[in-house]
Structure 1
């Protein structure tokens, strides 16, 4: 599959986005090796943009280069996941205070569409669709953040957290869809009123709920998904 930009040229950003998507959906599970040559052939590019994309993903903590192995997908330890959620909780409080931008009609249309899709998901649950809707929601939240540095931190912490969501959704089932409907309903009210501070407040509450689910459904498993050995 070739991923191309609007100009028709394959981009590092597009390749990066697709690899991250595969990691979040466990299409590339922990331990999976990312082979530059194979990816370059798949995307129809030289190895240089693939290498650049993987380099960016390393900064997110989702892959790591290991001697004698190459670049592999890694999981975060319990401690690291805790740090990610602590950071996300703090970042959420800044959304409404650090250069928030004005809400547009397009933003209102996007949140309304997401809410409708979440209602449909609640009636017919699918874990993959749940993660896709969360991804679209977080892109909307990022677009509402006016401060570019805060936006960068928000996206980085989001991707690190998103690596756990598919498995949580698979284990928790429809209950996560119900929570998403509630979250989107509250966000729609805030966005319709142009209240970015309220958007941040809703996100902070929901991030806390999400972390509790991670601990409930993943940390309680006999297999330690976030073992320090895997992270190291």
Structure 2
């Protein structure tokens, strides 16, 4: 396996809004490796630091945040240290080398999906990518308000993949969508990664990093699984091993709770 993103001892400090003299550490010495052609899922309860971890990897931390440790994007010929990038340097990385599927789709309500996305790529390329992501060409001609939650999430996935990034970050990809649409969204989130793996020799496979509170997401698409609690990683490893033979008590509690609510 080839690493595309290596995170070592990454910490994020934020000032407490109620007491500016006090700092909180919502991400505390996190280390993980994302490999080409694999999907890593970070799971944990609300407040575990998952989304802030993702935010730190795409340079969108709130003003005043302090970052320590390392996050290296393993580009050829020279790796890029993400924690040291300036605003201008981030513009060359964000959306191009690292794509983001956020919880809220940032589409203008007054223009069609296709009109907004075709500003980045010709419509022919856009149509092919949309079909790969499960979005029919007809849906590109609709306004955001005319799409279901799952269709909007797939449109946002198209937007995240327009520049063919080597890393895709996904924040709670199934949040706010109907139960019937969860499966198709997860399938499409995974499918572009598989397509990259099966392309011509020499084509770089994409790595996908997903954060979620929902263990069903991990069970559906994870190759590797990371469990976070209170800003720290408590367990990590191949998804099959973590899901079937968890070692940490917190992981076992999460899985037990999942079994209790699963019909």
Q: TM-score, normalised by structure 2?
A: 0.25
Given the two structures, how large is their TM-score scaled by the length of structure 1? Answer: 0.28
Larger helix percent: 1
